[in-house]
Chain A
Amino acid sequence: MRWINIGLGLAVTGIIGFFVVRELLIDPLYFFELFLGGLTRGSIYALIALGYTMVYGIIQLINFAHGEIYMIGAMTALIVASVLGLWGWNTAVIAILAVVFAIVYSCAYGFTVEKIAYKPLRNSPRLSALISAIGMSLFLQNYVMLAQTPDYLPFKSLIPDFHFWEPYAHIITSVELTIIITTVIVMILLGILIKFTRIGKAMRSLPVMWDRSTFSSDFWQGSKPLSQRFWVVSALSRAQCWDRWYWVFPKAILPDISTVNMKMYLPFPSWY
């Protein structure tokens, strides 16, 4: 049985590998363009997935509203950028402010969503929290669609074409370059946060304690020292909050599609 599995795995990899290599041999430049485009997309998804896995790892909940928070980050960035753009501010300042606002707002939304929809359900069946998350996701989608618009919106590019990058711009644009570099930096920062800081350690320690068989609600009632409890609780709510920082960042400066397509977030982007 095991050998069949290995054989199947190798066969699939081989077939895919064959086509990849064939593309590479036919047209190397085109191949690299596609590859880097994929890498850019992939790095954004990777950041979203990081946020996802942090929430999942800590509260053991498939957070259906994750994609919506992402959408709100993008919307906030878009609104801030277009308002400041109409007021005629400097592009660099706009870019920074859009990022800052996107981070702060999606962080705040994550925090609020957790307080409303997930926190009261911590001692309930896991599926209940899942449905609550689905409800929240529906609510947020429709809230933005009603308050703003369900249509495509143009997002003006905030990243200039770097002068020094011009010779390589035909392979990878400076926007894509910025996205990839930002992703790498943010991932390193996240790694440091998780590994070395106190809040990161509190987050990592949670899933173990969260096991329902060993972890009863007595824990919250004050059987442990106050300071420890505080860290655990704040880690829980901040898990919702902290992770937003990282993936909203590239989204805020992601003009490569040059549109914020709200329909793209319908109906369960988080899965894909």
Chain B
Amino acid sequence: MPIKNHIKQSLIIAFWFMILTFPIMVIKVNAIQQTIDFRWANFLWVGIFTFFASMIWNYFLRRNEEQKKTDIADDIPLVHRLLQNDRFRRPFLGLLAAFFIAYPFVFPMYHTSIMISALVYVMLGLGLNIVVGLAGLLDLGYVAFYAVGAYAYALLNLHFGLSFWVVLPMSALLGTLFGVLLGYPVLRLRGDYLAIVTLGFGEIIRIVLENWDDFSNGPRGISDIPAPTFFGHHFGQHDAMIYMYFIVIALVLMTIFFVNRLENSKIGRAWIALRDDEIACQAMGIDKFKTKLTAFALGATWAAMGGVVFAAKTSFINPMSFTIWESITILCVVVIGGMGSAIGVIAGALVLILLPEYLRAVAEYRMLVFGALQVIVMVFKPDGLIKSVRKVYTFNVQEKAIHEQTHT
């Protein structure tokens, strides 16, 4: 199609959007003073903006289509290629490590603080990745386990004075327990039905916390949750933040290690197989229910640990921190990062949590931009930012045969 047609098409789209946004963008009724404002400038801006936006949009859509046609085999993400290549692998990881170690000392406390939240989301994302990405169970109530962890630390500390380091493993166990308890009745369901039931469970936990005043202090929440100590030593505010940062880094590394090992283990393969084809899986003798339950419980374990860290970091929790919106954010982390790919989920969490913070420069427009970016990422990269790559074992029969022939 020549360029003239593209311009014509974009003009039509711009005109369509001008009409579409007319009542909301242009007319503004002031009900108190009984006046109507017509903001005609907006009308023009919408037209100009959508014209260029649609030109760019269509250009990239066409490019995407063409790329899909030409190279199907060679679309392994850059990061994977970097990591597979031994020459780049070491320096790349070294640089990354240096950056993360230097981070809290170089940047001010505010940045350390938001980085901690982002890293907590890395943990949560990796946990949910087990459930959604690997086992293919859409869980919209993931925040329930996060709340369990956070409240476990807050309450155990309040009543029994247990420290962070004691509660952390306990909450992991508690998370697993809750995962099994909630998972047991709901895992008979499939697909979207499962999503809705888990959503219901997430809400139940939140509403119980909100209304059971004697137990959880209701909507007022629990404050003065102590930060973790270092062998009984308490830090000042600034040092406590840096300490927290390194704890989270350690936990994230542990999570990455575990998730990676799980993914390549027998049970990890069972999850992936279950995601791809349930019936074939059962025919192969995989216990469907047990496998699903393990995924659910292990995902919950990480959510609970993330909850403990969250409570220790913010030192104040209330049920409002655990709304459905939180579950959705974690799900976005997983899907935008790339389902089933650990590197993708890490990248997704960092982008998704840090981006709104840095978008504060555009203050009130930030959620607008954020929503639009979500759509754009999904349209142009439907498999996520860094998509998962299945392990491929190549065995070149011909080459081996030639090799053997030359030797004999």
* Residues on A facing B (Cβ under 8 Å): 56, 62, 72, 75-76, 79-80, 82-83, 86, 101, 105, 108-109, 112, 116-117, 120-121, 124-125, 127-132, 134-144, 146-148, 153-154, 267-268, 271
Contact = CB atoms under 8 A, between A and B. Distances in A.
A81 B25 CA distance: 16
A109 B20 contact: yes
A83 B36 contact: yes
B375 A139 contact: yes
B386 interface: no
B371 A128 contact: no
Nearest to A109: B20
Given A83-B27, A139-B375, A131 B20 contact: no
B331 A72 contact: no
Contact of B325 (A109, A127, A136, A267): A267
A79 B378 contact: no
B332 interface: yes
A139 B371 CA distance: 5
Contact of B24 (A79, A128, A129): A79
A153 to B, nearest CB: 7
Contacts of B194: none
Contacts of A76: 23-24
Assign chain B's interface to a size class: 35 or more
Nearest to A113: B375
Given A130-B335, A154-B31, A267-B325, A105 B23 contact: yes
Given A83-B29, A143-B24, A271-B199, A138 B383 contact: no
B195 A143 contact: no
Interface in B1-34: 16-17, 19-21, 23-25, 27-29, 31, 34
A248 to B, nearest CB: 13
Interface stretch (B84-92, B237-245, B361-369): B361-369
B24 A147 contact: yes
A86 B33 CA distance: 11
B187 to A, nearest CB: 16
State the majority secondary structure of interface residues on B.
Answer: helix
Nearest to B29: A82
A74 to B, nearest CB: 11
B325 A142 contact: no
Interface of B: 16-17, 19-21, 23-25, 27-29, 31, 34-36, 42, 61, 132, 138, 192, 195-196, 199, 323-325, 328, 331-332, 335-336, 339, 364-365, 367-368, 370-375, 378-379, 382-384
Contacts of A140: 371
Contacts of A127: 132, 138, 331, 335, 339
Nearest to B336: A131
A37 B5 CA distance: 55
Given A62-B195, A139-B372, A144-B24, A132 B378 contact: yes
B383 A125 contact: yes
A233 B134 CA distance: 33
Given A62-B195, A127-B138, A131-B378, 15 more contacts: A76-B24, A79-B27, A82-B31, A112-B20, A125-B382, A135-B371, A135-B372, A135-B375, A138-B367, A138-B370, A141-B371, A146-B365, A146-B368, A268-B324, A268-B328
A127 B99 CA distance: 33
Contacts of A105: 20, 23
A142 B374 CA distance: 14
Contacts of B132: 127
A130 B339 CA distance: 13
Contacts of B25: 147
Contacts of A120: 61, 379, 382
Contacts of A146: 364-365, 368
Given A121-B378, A134-B374, A86 B199 contact: no
A105 B336 CA distance: 31
A267 B324 contact: yes
B325 A134 contact: no
**Which one of B21, B132, B328, B331 has the greatest number of beta carbons of chain A within 10 Å?**
B328
Contacts of A117: 375, 378-379
B378 A139 contact: no
Nearest to A78: B29
A105 B323 CA distance: 32
B339 A148 contact: no
B167 to A, nearest CB: 31
A131 B327 CA distance: 12
Nearest to A271: B199
Contacts of B323: 267
Contacts of A144: 24
B297 to A, nearest CB: 22
